[in-house]
Amino acid sequence: MKKSLLTPLFILCLQLIAQAQQVEMATDLRSSGKIYIVVAVLCVLFIGLAIYLFTIDKKVSKIEKGIQQK
């Protein structure tokens, strides 16, 4: 019971601490407009990773089907 009550309280405290701090780098990136480049690069990386994992899954599924047929 104590654990279930402490977890939301701990998360709330972390959020309050995180909101109180301002990261200078993020502020500078936002003010210069470079934050969009950072977001674009992260999106490209995540999309590339997703495509890579999807192709690996297809290859593994194909190999599994070949093993099951034998």
Mean pLDDT by 10 residues, the chain (70 residues): 62 65 72 88 96 96 88
Please give the pLDDT value at position 18.
59
Q: Are the C-beta atoms of 11 and 19 separated by less than 8 Å? A: no
b or e along 32-41 (b: 16 or more beta carbons within 10 Å of the residue's beta carbon)?
eeeeeeeeee
Residues of the domain holding 50: 2-69
Task: Report the pLDDT value the prediction gives residue 57, as an integer from 0 to 100.
Answer: 96
Side chain identity, residue 56 = I
- What local confidence, expressed as pLDDT, does residue 1 receive? 46
Question: How many Cα atoms within 13 Å fall on the side-chain side of residue 44?
Answer: 6
Assigned token pair, 40: 């674009």
Q: What is the number of structural domains in the chain? A: 1
Identify the pLDDT of residue 64: 92
Is 42:36 a contact under the CB 8 Å cutoff?
Answer: no
Threshold 0.85, pTM exceeds: no
Amino acid 29: pLDDT: 77
pLDDT of residue 56: 97
